[in-house]
Amino acid sequence: MTLADWIGSVGVSILLVAFLLNLLKRIAQDSVSYVSMNLIGALLAGLASWMINYTPFIILEAVWVLVSMVSLVSIMKRPSIK
């Protein structure tokens, strides 16, 4: 396997684990952990796509990163309950 394969595999694995944990109700869709896993996974998958010059997935993962970043900022701005 190439370096791009390894990076992409780790990224996709993180995305799939986040999805599975959400389906199993272990982490909430609007939790920092879920959104962070999506952000990191998409960054890695996007990097791997860039390394192999596969434009459709570069675009997909870039959008996924942007949506995750907006979601993470929104979550972090929520007032905490004391």
Is residue 54 situated within a structural domain?
yes
| Distance of alpha carbon 56 from alpha carbon 74, whole angstroms | 27
DSSP state of 79: P
Is residue 63 situated within a structural domain?
yes
Number of domains making up the chain: 1
pLDDT in tens, 6-65: 999 999 999 999 999 999 999 999 999 999 999 999 999 999 999 999 999 999 999 999
Residue 17, domain extent: 3-77
Is residue 12 situated within a structural domain?
yes
Is residue 58 situated within a structural domain?
yes
pLDDT in tens, 67-78: 999 999 999 998
- How distant, in Å, are the alpha carbons of 7, 9, 54 from that of 1? 10, 10, 17
> Any idea what the Cα angle at residue 71 is, between residues 68 and 40, rounded to 5°?
30
Is residue 82 situated within a structural domain?
no
| Distance of alpha carbon 57 from alpha carbon 68, whole angstroms | 16
